Amino acid sequence: MTKQDQQLARQLFSLSLVGGNLSTEHVGAVLQYLEKHPPARPVAVLRAYQRLVRAEYAKGQAVIEHAGPIADSLVQSIATLMARRYGRPVSGVARDNPGLLAGLRVRVGDDVYESSVAQQLAGLSL
């Protein structure tokens, strides 16, 4: 991927934001534009664009990994807590992960909050 591809992907990404948040309509419009006016290396530009959108999307989502059952109210309260912490709307998504043994792992964007038995065991083995 060239610098020009990356720069174009970044420009398209900034056009996909409304008030600092990702807009589904704008993303659709950007994709339509790219279909009509394909750049020199469309795959590279789309890959770079996808990466930026994915990273932005992850910032608005709290992926809550858990071992065993988890109440919807807990998912909701974690999402609210994260929204307050990051000062932006955050939705909660629960994902079962038996590898944690017990406890939770919450991922918001690049940040991971973890309190699980698996993590503590890994700490002991160090």
Partner 1 sequence: MSTVLEQIEQQIAKLSSKAVRKNTGVIRTVADGVAKIDGLSDVMYNEMVSFPGGAIGIALNLEQDEVGCVVLGDVSRLKEGDEVQTTGKLLSVPVGKGLLGRVVDALGAPVDGKGPITATESYPVEKIAPGIVVRKSVSQPLFTGIMAIDSMIPIGRGQRELIIGDRGTGKTTIAIDTIINQAKINKVGLASGDPKFRPVYSIYVAVGQKNSNIVRTIGALEAAGALEYTVIVAAPAADNPANQYLAPYSGAAIGEWFMENGMDALIVYDDLSKHAVAYRQISLILKRPSGREAYPGDVFYLHSRLLERSARLDGKGSLTALPIIETLAGDVSAYIPTNVISITDGQIFLETDLFNQGIRPAVSVGLSVSRVGSSAQIKATKQVGGKLKGELAQFRELAAFAQFGSDLDAKTKSQLDRGSRIVELFKQPAFNPIPIEQQVVTLWAMQKGFYDSLDLKGVTAASVALREFFATRKDAVLAEIRTKAALDKDLEEKIKGGVEEWKASFSA
Distance CA 61, CA 28 (A): 20
Contact between 14 and 23 (Cβ < 8 Å): no
Q: Which stretch binds partner 1 (CB under 8 A): 32-40, 68-76, 90-98, 111-119?
A: 111-119
Q: Which of 18, 43, 55, 93 binds partner 1 (CB under 8 A)?
A: 55
Structure tokens at 105: 């792992």
Give DSSP secondary structure letters for 34-91: HHHS--SSHHHHHHHHHHHHHHHHHHTEEEEEESS---HHHHHHHHHHHHHHHTS--E
Residue whose CB is less far from partner 1, 9 or 27: 9
Give least dist CB 71 to partner 1, A: 18
124 binds partner 1 (CB under 8 A): yes
69 binds partner 1 (CB under 8 A): no
Residues engaged in binding partner 1 (CB under 8 A): 6, 10, 48, 51-52, 55, 103-104, 107, 109-115, 119-120, 123-124
